[in-house]
Structure 1
Amino acid sequence: MRIAIGGDRAGEGLAGLIAAHLRATTPHTVVDMSHPEDDHPELYSELSERVGLAITHGDFDRGILCCGTGIGVCISANKIPGIRAALTHDTYSAERAALSNDAQIITMGARVIGPELAKSIVDAWLAHSFDPSGPSAGNVAGIEELSRKYSEHHLQTSNF
């Protein structure tokens, strides 16, 4: 599995710790995308876009985003059509993000959870996968339909 990780100024330390943990304990390919190429200070929306597009373009299978609370990167990532990002704060929410929501991205807050809990959250999320014929299939299909509906609507009504 290919995993993109990123953290803004508040979350880059946690993102780096998670990347090191995954490299040491799993066979997954892990790329830390915390810093843009020109290294300018960036908004967490830019970080979320970089990781989210890398997933929608097929370069990565899953992503992990960290900021101070995990909220800003989660909201930003969910603006990208086709992305399902979930704020996780414990192993149960991480498990459900995979099983019930088919979340390709999880987010965490570096000011909210500690490093050992963050590692456990990531491990729980990666240990589970969505069953497209399971009981949550209809909900995920509904989320995808909303994403298509409103991304098409936006494109039709914008002044591009």
Structure 2
Amino acid sequence: MTPLVRATLAALLLIAGTASAADQQLETRFSCSVARTVDGEKVIYADNGEISLAGSHIDAFRWESSLFRSTHGFDCSIDESDGLVAEVRDAAPMVQWRIALKDANDARTRRGYDFDRLPRCTIRLEREGDTLNVKPSCPALCGSRPNFSELSVNLKTGQCRYEE
């Protein structure tokens, strides 16, 4: 092998081994639920979603999160029609996305909520190996409870774990 061929091959291997954050992709669907006892009352959490991201481009993002009690329940959903933007960061061995609303007040108003909340909503997605951690912070979008459940999903088995 000539020095030029060896140098070209080394450069190609280096390029192939250094994928940028913009090259990171996430494609998943999940459906999770768990029953717990909270303050002596049975509570059911139920979440389902579909996420398709290519770098900071959102191909699909839909998530519905519900909390049911014996006397009442709450649900909230978010999708591309809410005006979402995404940022991606490769923090090897983890890839992180931050999904946010362009205008949380507008999204809340379109949903029929007219009370004041902090004007933000972010959902952090952290993929490490086969695990996707979903960490929401959305006081601005729906009702009075924390709007979405924090959970982890095994991307291979689909098994979910809710954070306490």
Q: Same fold (TM over 0.5)?
A: no
TM-score normalised according to structure 1 size = 0.27
Larger radius of gyration: 2
Structure with the bigger percentage of helix: 1
User: TM-score under structure 2 normalisation?
Assistant: 0.27
Structure showing greater relative contact order (alpha-carbon pairs closer than 8 Å, 6 or more residues apart): 1
Q: Which has the higher strand share?
A: 2
